[in-house]
Amino acid sequence: MKNYDSVRHVKGESLFIDDLSIPSSALFGAVYASPIAHGKILSISLEEAKASEGVVAVFTQSDIPGVNQIGGIIHDEKLLASEYVHFIGEPIAFITAKTQSQARLAAKKVKVEFEKLEVITDPKDAFRKGSLIVNDPKIYINGNVDEVWDKCDLIVEDTVELGGQEHLYLETQSSISYPTEGGGLKIISSTQNPTAIQRTAASVLNISANQIESEVSRLGGGFGGKEDQATAWACLTALAAYKLKKPVKLILSRQDDMRMTGKRHPYTSDYKIGFSGEGKILAYEVTYYQNAGAAADLSLPILDRTLAHCTNSYFIPNVKATGWCCKTNLPPNTAFRGFGGPQGMFVIESAIHKASKLLGIEPHLIQALNLFKEGDEFPYGQKIENGKSQECWQRIFEKYDIDAVKRDLETFNSNNKLFKKGYALMPICFGISFTHTMLNQASALVHVYSDGSVGISTGAIEMGQGVNMKIRQIAANIFNVNLSRIKSETTNTTRNANTSATAASSGADLNGNAASIACNAILKRLINFFAEKNNIEDINSVEIRNEKLFVNGADFNYSWNDLVLNAYHNRINLSEHSFYATPDIYFDTKTNKGKPFAYHVYGTSLFISKVDCLRGTYEIESVKIIHDIGQSINKVIDRSQAEGALVQGIGWVTLEEIIYNSDGRLLTDNLSTYKVPDINFTPKDIEIEFLENSYNKPGPMNSKAIGEPPFMYGIGAYFAIRNAVESFNGRKEMKYEAPLTPERVLMNLYNNK
Ligand code: MTE
Ligand code: LUZ
Ligand code: MOS
């Protein structure tokens, strides 16, 4: 069973955008972006840039034939700045030249005069000053917190600070636009959302959508960073190609990509939580100040997911969660694996952790006491159905003797002065479906060719997560033919229209279900044809097994190839275009209640950390996970997705620190200053067990989505490290603040306040 993407990646054969051969007439683009975070543009001088060697044209907002607007949800983001700039890295001019280096050199020669305006980088500061993306907060309510504070034995209040995260996909934002006959365009770009490119470019150029063909073969990673933010770069090449009638290519340098694009949202969150003496959570009130950056982008749906996941895996009868979408002068922050969920979950885990000290009950006992049970209600009104929180939790205790782990760590800690170990348990629960119900739709186009080979087109974007392989497996399973017969085609808006982004972990679910509908329709026609031809009355007696036809269990001596070729000769339709929309989901955005998710993914993890208390450095010694994947379509892919997400999650709460100065300038704008986990930092011991006997009707072949949920296990690393630090220095009042970098660990180890 070959996943040809991985084989080609290893051989270096996979074509990314910068690898595509381009005609000799092609031009190269570079972006001149705002050097200040907030200001009024007084004048723009392009003469020097235009006169620079090799330059063909320089475009500014006045060259846009249609609407200068790329905001997908709220129209608050210009393709090219006009009067004002709102963040460092906001595109102002687009330069095209004969070579890439000529374009980049010329971009440095654009001169702009600004009147500087006040710069805001902190979300609470923005909130205080009334700088908001939308004026009203989002509020999710269950029960009534105000009625129960009096009944609580313990009330804890605190603030949690969470940092952002750089996507660091291997392939930077890239696109090539080709003019086509009749004034149209073909745009190849590194996007998770080709339809957004098509729609936005059409509106920017003032042409109709059918004039634009938007295509993607694969991405060198997306992680959410190309769900909304691939659009600007594709539209810039589209604009130039449309105007110049020449292909135009733009590849952002790593540093430009890091400076110009948004990241995971930093949050400041204030909470108040009330407990009974035994550790039952009675009420939870939380306010999130989301740092949206300078434009809405996907911040509002991201805030929805923060609110939806604000109680993580716990049932809390009284919840009031408020989210403010705060406007700052940073690049618009955007989707990133987990999509606001991680931020919501971190805060409740912090609240439990803090309370555990005051209650004198260990965090995992509080976690266990409040864990979801069947029928419990989420703050958005959906009930737990087929929940697996309890099972995953029980299984991890059954498999690993947590009391023994605890004893071992205590012994280790009392025997070692300069090394301390800590452990933490981290359960997860993540809703699967786009929270915006409308987006939960997909289509597939399946062709069976007369030689028996199959081509499948869907809206799914392959970005390393293996969605193509899964869809091929789904098709091979339905037709009962070899996987090698099934090819997944590029993603292209002329074959699949009105697609949703490949996001929300639902790429394989939505597109896999659509593909399965199309394959079943073709299979049914083939079987009907065969039965009719051979005078078989009961079509249920016919089946394909391993490329051969069987009737009533007996080999008919007739192959898949015979079947397909014969059907073709008899004018049977061997193609199908299908559509899938997730059934039974709805959400009322006025009350924030409904059933937004088709299902949930559950799991539990156990972390053990070791901190070097002289240096402040640390390692995660081991991570043990019990994860509910339903019936895995491909265990190798699912395991690697879980491992990758886990390590990315650990990175978010440990090493990865994004620093902007007060002028809104990104200081960590390359890999010498921004640290991501490497193979040496990756836990040496990662054990992942997929929960047995879990079946998931809404998922193809009873599977569950895998892409994002395991990211949130990573939060456990923070608490495991923190617990080790606290056992070195018990007197310390340590802030709940991530990332917990080695520098921060060191400060906390020796701060005796
Ligand atoms: N895995 C790899 N290798 N590269 C990626 O960019 N993106 C993640 C996840 N796994 C990503 C990845 C994110 S953010 C999502 S939403 C899902 O993959 C999307 O794919 P799926 O819906 O097919 O799971
Ligand atoms: N994108 C989106 C997402 O538009 N809506 C979502 O609910 C979502 N969830 C996770 C990741 N991306
Ligand atoms: Mo993933 S954040 O939904 O692209």
CA of 227, nearest ligand number: 3
Task: State the ligand closest to the CA atom of 430.
Answer: 2
* Ligand 3 proximity of 503 Cβ (cutoff 6 Å): yes
Instruction: For ligand 2, atom 9, name the residue with the nearest CA.
Output: 504
Residue 366 has pLDDT above 60, yes or no: yes
Contact 82, 71 (CB under 8 A): no
- What are the tens digits of pLDDT across the range 232-243? 999 999 999 999
Q: What angle do CA 719, 391, 274 make, to 5 degrees?
A: 50
How far does the centroid of ligand 1 lie from the alpha carbon of residue 222, in Å? 7
Phi, psi dihedrals of residue 201, rounded to the nearest 5°? -65, -40
Mean pLDDT of the residues in the chain: 97
The two three-digit tokens of residue 93, written as one number: 């001019």
Q: Distance from the CA of 293 to the center of ligand 2, in angstroms? A: 18
| Residue 196 in contact with ligand 2 by CB distance below 6 A | no
pLDDT for the residue numbered 708: 98
Backbone φ, ψ for residue 519 (5° rounding): -65, -40
Q: Where are the beta strands (DSSP E) in 182-280?
A: 184-189, 212-216, 248-251, 267-275
Burial (0-12, 13-18, 19+ Cβ within 10 Å), 159: middle
Sign (positive/negative) of CA torsion 283, 289, 291, 297?
A: positive
DSSP assignments along 279-325, one per residue: S-EEEEEEEEEEEEESS-TTHHHHHHHHHHTTTTTB--SEEEEEEEE
Q: Exposed (0-12), middle (13-18) or buried (19+): which is 12, by Cβ within 10 Å? A: exposed
How many whole angstroms separate alpha carbon 265 and alpha carbon 464?
Answer: 23
- Structure letter (DSSP) for residue 753: -
Is 351 exposed, middle or buried, given 0-12, 13-18 or 19+ CB atoms closer than 10 A?
A: buried
461-520 pLDDT, tens digit each: 999 999 999 999 999 999 999 999 999 999 999 999 999 999 999 999 999 999 999 999
Please, which pLDDT band fits residue 753 given cuts at 50, 70 and 90?
Answer: low
- What is the Cα–Cα distance from 122 to 293, expressed in whole angstroms? 9
Q: Are 353 and 279 contacting, i.e. CB atoms less than 8 angstroms apart?
A: no
Order across the sheet with 441-448: list the strands: 486-488, 454-458, 441-448, 575-581
Mean pLDDT, residues 86-107: 98
pLDDT at 387 over 70: yes
Of 406, 522, 389, the closest CA to residue 455 belongs to: 522
Contact by Cβ (8 Å): 582, 433: yes
Question: For residue 682, what pLDDT is reported?
Answer: 98
- The verdict on whether 708 is a catalytic residue reads yes
Please state, in angstroms and as integers, the Cα–Cα distance from residue 298 to each residue in 347, 465, 592, following that order.
21, 22, 18
- Among 463, 472, 640, 703, the mutation site with the greatest number of ligand 1 atoms within 8 A of its Cβ is 463
Question: What mean pLDDT do residues 54-63 have?
Answer: 98
Q: Report pLDDT digits (tens) over 24-36.
A: 999 999 999 999 9
Q: Quick one: fold of 441-581?
A: Aldehyde Oxidoreductase; domain 4 (3.30.365)
Helix, strand, coil tally for the chain in percent (to 5): 35, 25, 40
pLDDT tens, residue by residue, 253-268:
999 999 999 999 999 9
Q: What is the DSSP letter of 148?
A: T
Q: How far apart are CA 64 and CA 561, in angstroms?
A: 53
The CB density around residue 406, as the number of other CB atoms within 10 Å, is 13
Whether 336 lines ligand 3, by a CB cut-off of 6 Å, is yes
Q: Give the closest residue to 723 by CA, choosing from 423, 414, 359, 427.
A: 423
Nearest CA residue ID for atom 5, ligand 2: 434
Topology of the domain comprising 4-118+167-260: Aldehyde Oxidoreductase; domain 3 (3.90.1170)
Q: Please tell me the number of the ligand nearest to residue 641's CA.
A: 1
Cβ count within 10 A of residue 139:
14
Q: Are 469 and 428 in contact (CB under 8 A)?
A: no
List the chain domain ranges: 4-118+167-260, 267-435+590-750, 441-581
pTM over 0.85: yes
Q: What is the pLDDT of residue 571?
A: 98
Closest atom of ligand 3 to CA, residue 503: 3
- Looking at residue 135, what DSSP letter applies? S
Mutation pick for ligand 2 pocket among 191, 336, 339, 430 (CB with most ligand atoms within 8 Å): 339
Beta-carbon contacts of 281 under 8 Å, excluding residues fewer than 6 positions away, are 273, 274, 275, 314, 316, 352, 366, 370
pLDDT class for 1, splitting at 50, 70, 90? Answer: low
- In the chain, count H helices and then E strands: 18, 30
Looking from the CA of residue 192, the nearest atom of ligand 3 is: 4
Selection from 545, 567, 547 nearest residue 485 by Cα: 547
**Structure confidence at residue 729 (pLDDT):** 87
2 pLDDT tier (thresholds 50, 70, 90)? confident
- Work out the number of other CB atoms within 10 angstroms of the CB of residue 432: 25
DSSP assignments along 720-732, one per residue: HHHHHHHHH-TT-
Tokens 């200001």 correspond to 39
Return the amino acid letter for 199: R
CB-ligand 3 contact for 504 (6 Å cutoff): yes
Give the CATH number of domain 267-435+590-750; options: 3.10.20.30, 3.40.50.300, 3.90.76.10, 3.30.365.10. Answer: 3.30.365.10
Confidence label for 5 from pLDDT (cuts 50, 70 and 90): confident
pLDDT digits (tens, 9 = 90+) for 134-179: 999 999 999 999 999 999 999 999 999 999 999 999 999 999 999 9
689: helix, coil or strand?
Answer: strand
Q: DSSP for 43-100?
A: EEE-HHHHHSTTEEEEE-GGG-SS-----SSSS---SS--SEE-STT-EEEEEEESSH
- Is ligand 2 within 6 A of the CB of residue 597? no
At 731 the pLDDT is 67
Instruction: Note whether 592 and 380 are within 8 A (CB).
Output: yes
Which is the catalytic residue, given 227, 657, 708, 726?
A: 708
- Domains 4-118+167-260 and 267-435+590-750 fall in the same CATH topology: no
Q: Is 718 in the pocket of ligand 3 (CB under 6 A)?
A: no
Ligand 2 atom having least distance to the Cα of 439: 4
**Closest ligand (CA of 645):** 1
CA dihedral 477, 483, 489, 490 (to 10 degrees): 100
> What number does the ligand 1 atom closest to the CA of 508 have?
23
Ligand 2 pocket: which of 167, 193, 299, 435 to mutate (most atoms within 8 A of CB): 435
Q: Is residue 249 classed as helix, strand or coil in its secondary structure? A: strand
CA dihedral 578, 201, 266, 637 (to 10 degrees): 40
Q: What mean pLDDT comes out for the span 4-19? A: 93
